[in-house]
């Protein structure tokens, strides 16, 4: 599933009027190395198209989408389902994108979400 985005950083909102903090999707959680502030757009690593299950495409967990083409590009990008359109890059991208293969990126994605045993 290709990540949709505007390419612009989200507004710098530090809190809601209720006083709740707004999470920075690119800030790694505790126990993870900090992520680069420069990598905030889709890197076309393919992990989001291969690791999670996508019910709208009948795609099971850990299996690459049949629409994931060469160069990890979505072959149905202009008609992809809404779930794919809504997917946005976050800190996990910085964790998995640098890995050398789609297989390694999927493995790490599943480890992060503790989903390896669900395969």
The residues spanned by each domain of the chain are 47-118
Tell me the per-residue pLDDT of 18-56, one tens digit each, with 9 for 90 and over.
Answer: 444 556 777 777 877 666 665 567 889 999 999 999 999
Tokens 């126990």 found at: 31
What gap in Å lies between CA 61 and CA 53, rounded to an integer?
Answer: 4
Which pLDDT score, from 0 to 100, does residue 42 have? Answer: 85
Rounded to the nearest angstrom, the gap between the alpha carbon of residue 8 and the centroid of all alpha carbons in its chain is 17
Q: Please give the biggest Cα pair distance in the chain.
A: 46
Section 99-111 average pLDDT: 96
- Report the predicted TM-score, pTM, of the whole model to 2 decimal places: 0.69
Quote the pLDDT of residue 19: 47
pLDDT of 51-94, one tens digit each? 999 999 999 999 999 999 999 999 999 999 999 999 988 889 88
φ/ψ bin of 61: left (φ > 0), alpha (ψ from -120 to 50), beta (otherwise):
beta
Q: Which pLDDT value is given to residue 23?
A: 65
The reported pLDDT for the residue numbered 24 is 74
Query: What pLDDT is stored for residue 12 in this prediction?
Result: 33
Measure CA 104 to chain center. 14
Is the pLDDT at 103 greater than 90? The verdict is yes
């Amino acid at each position: 599933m290709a990540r949709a985005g505007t390419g612009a950083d989200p507004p710098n909102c530090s809190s809601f009027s209720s006083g709740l903090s707004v999470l920075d999707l690119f800030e790694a959680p505790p126990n993870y190395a900090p992520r680069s502030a420069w990598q905030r757009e889709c890197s076309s690593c393919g992990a989001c198209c291969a690791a999670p299950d996508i019910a709208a495409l009948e795609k099971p967990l850990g299996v690459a989408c049949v629409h994931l083409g060469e160069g990890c590009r979505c072959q149905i990008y202009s008609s992809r389902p809404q779930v794919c359109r809504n997917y946005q890059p976050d800190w996990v991208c910085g964790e998995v994108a640098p890995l050398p293969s789609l297989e390694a990126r999927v493995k790490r994605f599943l480890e992060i979400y503790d989903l390896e045993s669900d395969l």
